[in-house]
Structure 1
Amino acid sequence: MPAPKNVLLIVVDQWRGLMLPKLGADYLKLPNIDRLCAEGVTFRNHFTQAVPCGPARASLLTGQYVMNHRAVQNTIPLSLRFTNLAHELRRGGYDPALVGYTTTTPDPRHTAPSDPRFFVLGDIMDGFHSVGAFENRDAYFGWVAGQGFELPKNRDDVWLPQGAPGAGATDRPAVIPKELSDTAWFTERGLTYLRGRAGKPWFLHLGYYRPHPPFIAPAPYNAMYRPEDMPKVVRAASPAEEAKQNALLAYYVNNINQASFFQDGKAKGSAMSEAEVAQMRATYCGLMTEIDDHLGRVFDYLKETGQWDDTLIIFTCDHGEQLGDHHLLGKIGYFDESYRIPMIVRDPRAEANGARGSIVERFTETIDTMPTILEWLDLPVPRQCDGHSLLPFCEGVTPADWRTEVHYEFDFRDLHYSKPETALGLSMDKCALAVVQDEAFKYVHFAALPPLLFDLKKDPGQFVNCATDPAYAAIVAEYARKMLDWRLGYAERTLTGYRATPKGLEVRAA
């Protein structure tokens, strides 16, 4: 009888892609993720297809570019006409379990306006079996209260720093102790699920909220890193200078507040000093190490129960975080810090032994995740998927026709918490940008603003827009063509392989 095939898909939130010791971030203490890198393959140039959370996770779990699934922002619905990873796993006999969230808003054509899911940021994607939902946080806070911890009237205040308010970026510990943190809760939910499987094959989406803000860490993680050891901020000499690059960037430089990141932060994000940015980064790293410690518990359980060598493990993220670079906080705009994300794949098969511990430099994308999982489980990859399996890289092989560029998109229409559409005087459906990026250049195309071009060899920090320089006119035209080629080649194609013939329905492969 063949051994069971299990999949552990670890999805963290807002983790910058190059912040792994394997990729040079030697100031980080992540021994368990390092262990995963040593036994798997690490992808240096892995990019999400969108920010923020909702569209990024829609791409991750449908295998589609944003231009195809069109769940372009948080709170915007995902069409039910698309399949997703959970539905495909069910066709293969799996009951896909989920700890965490997918930030999915349901298709309004298939439910009522009074559906409670329309009153929150997002809910669970159709097809998943939730064993630890975090969308409304009731389950987490109920667990905290059940442990004897007295919750404040405003439950989110557990993430405030201890002591007087008004801390901003701080090394003070969170009100909540580490034993009751959301990271501990996610891990407990995941381990509870795994213990109950009793040897049956499983798929688990193990999500974590961190290192997503608020950037307050429980003790001892709050003081684990020194601000002076953090990498220096990459930004123009002043917010005003940064804002000159583009009208959208100017809006964000001038309108992001610290309150969403530190609970009690009062000033604009662009007003942060270098010392404040360094402290923020130190706390962010502490939240990373907290996740690493808990992943160690999960990895140890799989080894103790003999499941380590039957389990495909993927560690990835929805999107990155600006962390003060370009005078920005959060995940917005068009800079790499928001879009480059971690990707580690540990394939337990013997065929993957030769590539263990390697780093892949080629461009990979979050849409590659779903095809990778399905191929590993010997399940068909739906035609809707725009991505490609990463398993050849795990076997030490680079496909001859692999992509030489990445594409990602950002929609900046007005939402209840952000109003760039109004500020810029644009129509809703013109509030969009798309990026094509390779090793040499990065081209940003706007629907209703002038384009941007960055010469990445000369200007890796992406401060100088070359799109208006006559010397780069031919390159702007070339990359605009690349953008059009991409859109034509990846236009939504779920049904375009079907056709009627005199002999009846015909289905063509790609």
Structure 2
Amino acid sequence: MNVLFITADQWRGDCLSKVGHPAVKTPSLDRLADDGVLFARHFSNMTPCGPSRASLHTGMYGFNHRSIRNGTPLDARHTTLAQELRKAGLDPVLFGYTDTSIDPRGVAATDPRLLSYEGVAPGYRPICLMLEAAAPWLAHLRGRGYGNLQIEDVYAGELGAPAMFGAEDSETAFLTDQAIAYLDRRRPHPFFLHLSYIKPHPPFVAAAPWNASVDPRDLPPLLRQPTIQREGELHPWLAAHLQRPLGSWFKEHFAGSADLEGSRLTALRQVYGGLIEEVDHHVGRLVDHLARTDQLDDTLIVFTADHGEMAGDHWMIGKSGFFPQAFHVPLIIRHPRGARELRVERFTEHVDLMPTFLEAAGLPVLLQCDGHALTPFLKGEQPGRWRDAVHYEHDVGDLETGWHRTALGLDDHACGLATIFDGHHALVQFSGLPPLLFDHARDPAWLSDLSTNPSYALTRADLAGSMLSWRMRYADRRLSSALLTPSGPVGRFE
């Protein structure tokens, strides 16, 4: 069986017309969901990009793989999905990137891979490697007559204005064309193709017509307090974070987080939605190509995103923190012999994908994997036991600037936060700051902290106990699952 594993970057889970978004239209993914399984409550286990993808490619929670920031090395003792598939004789190929930071202990101090967090997850063979500098795409643009440009030149311009390149020459179009060309020349099957789109990640610049394909009048209301000062009162970390300078591209359009309002924020949200619609269009091209070439009925298709995007909610841009907008992401899976038109409301997580891929390949699920294969859902079955809450993590530290030390008084090892969300309540536990408790049923925007409310003391205690049990249950077990006895080792070890 072939596998097409597609990830988009920074696509929040509510941005699908299939789940009722009022402005964004995603007909291709809607069709894929109708022909497969839509996991409506799927969550990334970490943000930002590198840590999230570390969970995707190792099947491990962040507290086990510990690649917790962009640039934090991924321990070489952790095997990856691609390595396991390669051991089994497959050839996992990559179009795009994985943002996997190399373990420095196994390479020379002069190794150029130590200068970037944009490494490739071990086991993948890059066919079209698209790092932030986007060298293959820029070469394509030169060949198309756009000139000798750098990435900053390509994405310059007024917020909301159409990009300087045509829609047929966008990053998303280019990478899709490369993947289709590979599928045309790839023989024999099966294949395992990981297609990692950078969009809708910033810069929020889109070619026409995608820059204006979303009607701004249909955008949903922002979920936030009326002022940034009120928002910051929720928690010390949030107050400090909202005072941080915005990223380099955003600085050209917004003075700071307090400036995230009015017509410019509307234009940003409109383009963000348009970039989503563009990716959806090209996913449709890929699926249609598989159908035309008689490969669709022998291909497992998985679509998800590494993490979400705040998009102005809570006066934030990006994916830092603990709000669900940064962690809830789409997941659609079409198994060639699986269920159709099924919507799963159980909680699923990124760590579930590696076990799912391994089972699909006929391989055993490793002890390393913290998740559980989604195979029963893909068959239209309900597993007897399943998680009743979702867990995700984030690290607020910045080792380059030391921001966490000066702004929050945190040492380098007290920057973590972990969230447990059971659909009714959410507890955010910080390693060095006060916790937060939200009543999701009464406060779906997560605006009011109830952690010190006596009426919620039992709820907080129950969630804290559940989080502790989660940590204990999923602590590394690759050797703890075995025992040396006079008769020899018993159990299982890796």
Shorter-chain TM-score range:
over 0.9
Equivalent pair of 2:58/2:78 in contact (CA under 8 Å): yes
In the alignment, structure 1 residue 21 sits paired with structure 2 residue 10: no
Aligned match for 1:345, one of 333, 347, 353: 333
Match for 2:127: what amino acid?
V
Equivalent pair of 2:76/2:103 in contact (CA under 8 Å): yes
Equivalent pair of 1:440/1:457 in contact (CA under 8 Å): yes
Q: Distance in 2 between matches of 1:194 and 1:301?
A: 9
In the alignment, structure 1 residue 281 sits paired with structure 2 residue 269: yes
For 2:138, the equivalent position in structure 1 comes to 141
Given the superposition, is the C-alpha separation of residues 321 and 216 from structure 1 closer, same or farther in structure 2, using an over 3 Å criterion? Answer: same
For 1:60, the equivalent position in structure 2 comes to 56
Given the superposition, is the C-alpha separation of residues 418 and 54 from structure 1 closer, same or farther in structure 2, using an over 3 Å criterion? Answer: farther
Equivalent pair of 2:134/2:151 in contact (CA under 8 Å): no
Question: Residues 486-501 of structure 1 correspond to what in structure 2 (within 5 A)?
Answer: 486-501=470-485
In the alignment, structure 1 residue 102 sits paired with structure 2 residue 98: yes
Q: Can you list the C-alpha shifts for 1:47-98, whole angstroms capped at 9, x where unaligned?
A: 0000000000000110000000000000010001011100111122111001
For 1:185, the equivalent position in structure 2 comes to 174
For 2:445, the equivalent position in structure 1 comes to 461
In the alignment, structure 1 residue 424 sits paired with structure 2 residue 408: yes
Match for 2:222: what amino acid?
V
Match for 1:307: what amino acid?
Q
- Alpha-carbon deviation of 1:37? 0.8
Equivalent pair of 1:64/1:385 in contact (CA under 8 Å): yes
Equivalent pair of 1:63/1:370 in contact (CA under 8 Å): yes
- Alpha-carbon deviation of 1:457? 1.0
In the alignment, structure 1 residue 232 sits paired with structure 2 residue 221: yes
Question: Structure 2: which 5+ residue stretches go unaligned?
Answer: none
- Alpha-carbon deviation of 1:395? 1.6
Question: Residues 2-401 of structure 1 correspond to what in structure 2 (within 5 A)?
Answer: 5-135=1-131, 136-152=133-149, 154-161=150-157, 167=158, 170-257=159-246, 259-261=248-250, 264-349=252-337, 352=338, 355-401=339-385
For 2:428, the equivalent position in structure 1 comes to 444
Equivalent pair of 1:248/1:420 in contact (CA under 8 Å): no
Q: Distance in 2 between matches of 1:70 and 1:331?
A: 18
Q: Distance in 1 between matches of 2:401 and 2:305?
A: 23
Q: Distance in 2 between matches of 1:339 and 1:418?
A: 25
Match for 2:252: what amino acid?
D
Equivalent pair of 1:227/1:275 in contact (CA under 8 Å): no
Question: Structure 1: which 5+ residue stretches go unaligned?
Answer: 162-166
Given the superposition, is the C-alpha separation of residues 293 and 6 from structure 1 closer, same or farther in structure 2, using an over 3 Å criterion? Answer: same
- Alpha-carbon deviation of 1:140? 2.2
- Alpha-carbon deviation of 1:126? 0.9
Match for 2:182: what amino acid?
Y
Q: Distance in 2 between matches of 1:438 and 1:494?
A: 28
Q: Can you list the C-alpha shifts for 1:196-228, whole angstroms capped at 9, x where unaligned?
A: 212421000011010001111111111212211
- Alpha-carbon deviation of 1:356? 1.1
Q: Distance in 1 between matches of 2:40 and 2:10?
A: 16
Given the superposition, is the C-alpha separation of residues 398 and 256 from structure 1 closer, same or farther in structure 2, using an over 3 Å criterion? Answer: farther
Match for 2:134: what amino acid?
R
User: Matched residue of 2:163: which SS?
Assistant: coil
- Alpha-carbon deviation of 1:418? 7.7
Q: Distance in 1 between matches of 2:445 and 2:405?
A: 27
User: Matched residue of 1:25: which SS?
Assistant: coil
Match for 2:456: what amino acid?
Y
Q: Distance in 1 between matches of 2:32 and 2:396?
A: 36
Q: Distance in 2 between matches of 1:507 and 1:194?
A: 42
Given the superposition, is the C-alpha separation of residues 439 and 271 from structure 1 closer, same or farther in structure 2, using an over 3 Å criterion? Answer: same
Equivalent pair of 1:151/1:158 in contact (CA under 8 Å): no
Given the superposition, is the C-alpha separation of residues 111 and 8 from structure 1 closer, same or farther in structure 2, using an over 3 Å criterion? Answer: same
Q: Distance in 1 between matches of 2:287 and 2:198?
A: 19
User: Matched residue of 2:413: which SS?
Assistant: helix
Match for 2:327: what amino acid?
Y
Q: Distance in 2 between matches of 1:346 and 1:238?
A: 43
User: Matched residue of 2:121: which SS?
Assistant: coil
Equivalent pair of 2:376/2:383 in contact (CA under 8 Å): yes
Q: Distance in 1 between matches of 2:361 and 2:303?
A: 17
In the alignment, structure 1 residue 405 sits paired with structure 2 residue 389: yes
Q: Distance in 2 between matches of 1:142 and 1:389?
A: 40
User: Matched residue of 1:464: which SS?
Assistant: coil
Equivalent pair of 1:221/1:283 in contact (CA under 8 Å): yes
Equivalent pair of 2:351/2:369 in contact (CA under 8 Å): yes
TM-score, structure 1 normalization: 0.94
Matched residue count = 493
List, as ranges, runs of 4+ consecutive aligned residues in structure 1 with deviation greater than 4 Å.
Answer: none
Equivalent pair of 2:22/2:218 in contact (CA under 8 Å): no
